[in-house]
Amino acid sequence: MKAAVTVSSLLVLILLAGSAYSKDSPEFKAKLLGDQEVPPVDSRVRGVVQFEVNKDHTMIDYKLEVKTRKKEPVGLLGAAGAHIHCAPIGENGPAVAFLAGVVSGGFEGKVEIKATLTDANIVNTSCGATIQELVEAMRAGNTYANVHSVKNPSGEARGQIELDD
């Protein structure tokens, strides 16, 4: 009897884990910090990006929030903006989709941007040419979000994109 309960419990756990991975509309998240940059930077900028994929994997709705305690021209904060890049943790890679443009003159406090990505927004195919392929790269841990600044044009705050459980 004890073995049957253990096997049943194990099967339930396997089914739950599988359903979380195969969710029709997966959600992802990236926490943006300067120490996640490669190489790390000393930054007062913090942020988070939340991504929600539609059921057909043809669109990604996202919300980008960036905060700073000091008026800084951040990519939003600089000349480069904010992007999704294609690379695993610890490596730099090319921008594959824009999340935000420049906020001229910088800002102090919080900026929030909500938008939708489609295949037309993919600017580099290193992670795939479609949203569906980009989602697979996100699942595999091969993408990160990055906010650039005048002070740190290669990146002010970065976070690896991960499934949001």
Does residue 163 contact residue 53 with C-beta atoms inside 8 Å? no
Please, what's the largest Cα pairwise distance for the chain? 69
List the domain boundaries for the chain: 25-163
Condensed to tens digits (0 to 9), the pLDDT of residues 83-142 reads 999 999 999 999 999 998 876 666 677 889 999 999 999 999 999 999 999 999 999 999
Distance CA 162, CA 100 (A): 20
Condensed to tens digits (0 to 9), the pLDDT of residues 47-60 reads 999 999 999 999 99
Domain 25-163: give its CATH code: 2.60.40
